[in-house]
Structure 1
């Protein structure tokens, strides 16, 4: 029998009934519904499977196994966070790719700068910015949510926290598209090239903040200390590069799915518009239902899980969408229910690598919903809208045409 690339990507110790061919970065290659593709995988899979795509790796298919992996950083290292491992471009996203004991002092640099107290300091500015954006199109009765709000608001929030110039956004956004959404599909620009460009962009900024620190996020890193010693400049660049990438893409994506759903649920629109106190619960439920990314881990030693042996140096993916769709943990998991007791979802991660920007992301989502529904309490998808989900390292909707009635 002929040897194929797929057969080569299945180690001999992987049971035949655990093998599928499923690309976690492109779950519906035929252009079908992405959620349905994940559900189809869930419905035919055991809790841990092996996929032949992207060089071959394990993946978890339910919440229990996902948490078991994410909470065990000793066996499941974050040194590799994307498949195939040869991709390599995202290997230095500190502190995400650092394991203990190196991880804690790196993470400590961010904890205060991204604390609820720090986020609260910029909330008034965020509200002003959200209102300005909405006022720019409210009287038109329509907008492309992503072009007119979704791409701007999270950027404005992060740039205010980091004290970066807004005119730099267009360049950074182009680089992000290459990394997260295959922006240069012809391969003319690699992930490594883009990561180097991010480093070159940040290097003079970090040097200036080191000499004259302010009260911003980048200054907190550049002028911080690790084990009593000043942060090495290259380490500071790697940490700040991670912050830029995480801060500019994930919240934007979550907003796109949230507003797409809300546009088709007038009852929930009315409830949230009339009861702003329910918005934080809605933010939590939207976060549960629409996780954005996929965590990858690499095994440091052999371990048995779900009756199969995973070996040292294997990769394992934890697609959080499969936790969100886990019917054993969430009744009717596809439905948005803001009164649901979720029991603690994993959309912002779990274990020591839980997202450092969780408080910022939740604040941005809350402010966005409160200010939008105050100004535009009723809206819907434009009838001719063709919604396309963009996949990759993260998942998002890039065009979202909305409409609403304008008071005469």
Structure 2
């Protein structure tokens, strides 16, 4: 856009943020230092105060203690989920944006209950063989090369192809979904044009699938939602179905792709843990939970609706809250040696899947995909390491995971 091009408040691209010089009073979750390594930042903030505030993003609080995060996550009276990403602009709240994650009580519960049946443990057992096949199909493509960018060649494709399988949409469309996710969760924080474009394209894409199923019903998750009834016994509005599909696509891909990638990154740079998992595969369930705790990918947001006080900090309506489950999972008051990754950690009440009524619907899917992705990789590539000639790049924004992960093996 040229300097002379007309802009509106909705369309302007906001200027880059100045670097942070005082994390306690002026934090910014898009600062490159936060993106690269947020853990020491959280530790420093937490040791000073369980909740801090910045004037950036039109006013935003950051709780870093487990207890403060838990209290906010459970308080639906003072905190709304109608906005779940902290960004520079606050566009008008859209009805049925992404139910149930953007829903508040009383609409939240019936919207969530609609999505529970496709994600039960039994449903995941039926899906697991396909996910194992996907992992091996991907490994087949690069195992002879002696190395790969594991983010580009492996981690991002597993949840993309699995959710496509569940929704009954072509796996070949996966690149589209990855592009939309990047535009919404990363670029869209500072660029309203990108955000609206991605949401519009995604809505148009799914509207086409809904229309096709009205003519010819199918046995997949899109048809399941179309056949669902609301709490009054009426079919869901198309906008509700579209919102839930947007949620499943975004939440079902980026989060798990990030968690699998962070796990492979840890194992590539920690030979003792990698070798132990190869020798003791029974440790995998505990290891998955610990990797979820240590490298939790998802930070959500809440909007302050009524004045309240959390951990001694007054919170004012109109501000946002960066609800950092990853920071809560590094709180030494709850997790002994919180900064150490212990793949046999036993007592592990982590919040990687959230806390309160919005706890992740897809947690069974994420755990299964993570477990299968690591098991199949370790079976076929037990010895691997980070490529010293390459660079690991992490995503910016509220979902954190490696977007470039150069690995050598063989």
Normalising by the residue count of structure 1, what TM-score does the alignment of the two structures yield? Answer: 0.88
Point out the more displaced range, 387-396 or 288-297: 387-396
1:151 aligned to 2:156? yes
Pairing 1:123-142 to 2, within 5 Å after superposition: 123-142=128-147
Matched, 1:99 2:104: yes
Following TM superposition, by how much is the alpha carbon of 1:189 offset from its aligned partner in structure 2, in angstroms? 3.2
1:394 and 2:399 correspond: yes
Could you tell me which of 27, 44, 61 is aligned with 1:40? Answer: 44
- Mapped partners of 1:326, 1:387: distance in 2: 26
Residues 313/254 of structure 1: CA separation in 2 closer, same or farther (3 Å cut): same
Contact 2:332-2:338 within 8 A present in 1 as well: yes
CA distance in 2, matches of 1:211, 1:102: 29
- Residue 339 of structure 1: CA displacement? 1.9
Cα separation, partners in 2 of 1:156 and 1:326, compared to 1, 3 Å: same
The change in CA–CA distance for 1:175 and 1:102 in structure 2 (over 3 A counts) is: same
CA 1:38–1:132 in structure 2 vs 1: closer, same or farther (change >3 Å)? Answer: same
Specify whether residues 149 and 18 from structure 1 end up closer, same or farther in structure 2 by C-alpha distance, changes over 3 A only.
closer
Structure 1 residue 291, shift from structure 2 partner: 1.3
Partner of 2:299: 294
**Cα distance in structure 2, aligned partners of 1:272 and 1:212:** 47
Contact kept, 8 Å, 1:113 with 1:217, in 2: the verdict is yes
- Measure, in 1, the Cα distance between the counterparts of 2:117 and 2:388: 45
**Range 82-91 or range 58-67, more displaced:** 82-91
User: 1:75 aligned to 2:78?
Assistant: yes
Matched, 1:224 2:235: no
Question: 2:37 aligned with 1:25, yes or no?
Answer: no
The answer on whether the counterparts of 2:188 and 2:195 sit within 8 Å (CA) in structure 1 is no
Aligned mates of 1:104, 1:395 — CA distance in 2:
28
Are the aligned partners of 1:174 and 1:183 in contact in 2 as well (CA < 8 Å)?
A: no
The match for 1:51 is: 54
The C-alpha deviation readout for 1:251-295, integer Å capped at 9, x for no partner, is 111111111110012222122122222111111111111111222
CA contact (8 A) 1:209 1:223 kept: no
Equivalent-residue separation in structure 1 for 2:192 and 2:88 (angstroms): 20
1:316 to 309, 321, 330: 321
The residue aligned with 1:307 is 312
User: Residues 386 and 85 of structure 1: is their aligned pair in 2 closer, same or farther, counting only changes over 3 Å?
Assistant: closer
Offset of residue 80 of structure 1: 1.8
Q: CA deviation at 1:388?
A: 2.3
CA RMSD of aligned residues (A): 2.3
In terms of mean alpha carbon deviation, does 54-63 or 297-306 score higher?
Answer: 297-306
Name the structure 2 match of 1:13: none
Residue number in structure 1 paired with 2:122: 117
1:261 aligns with 2:263: no
Is the 1:110–1:220 contact (alpha carbons within 8 Å) kept by the matching residues of 2? no
Equivalent position of 2:361 in the other structure: 356
Kindly indicate whether the alpha-carbon contact (under 8 Å) linking 1:26 and 1:392 is maintained by their aligned counterparts in 2. Answer: no
| Shift of residue 90, structure 1, vs aligned partner | 8.0
- Residue aligning to 1:372: 377
Q: Deviations over 1:59-111 (max 9, x none)?
A: 21110100001012222211122234733388512111111111111111110
Matches within 5 A, 1:195-210: 195-210=199-214
1:32 and 1:248 map into 2 onto residues whose CA distance is 21
1:403 correspondence with 2:395: no
Which ranges of structure 2 fall in alignment gaps of 5 or more residues? 1-21
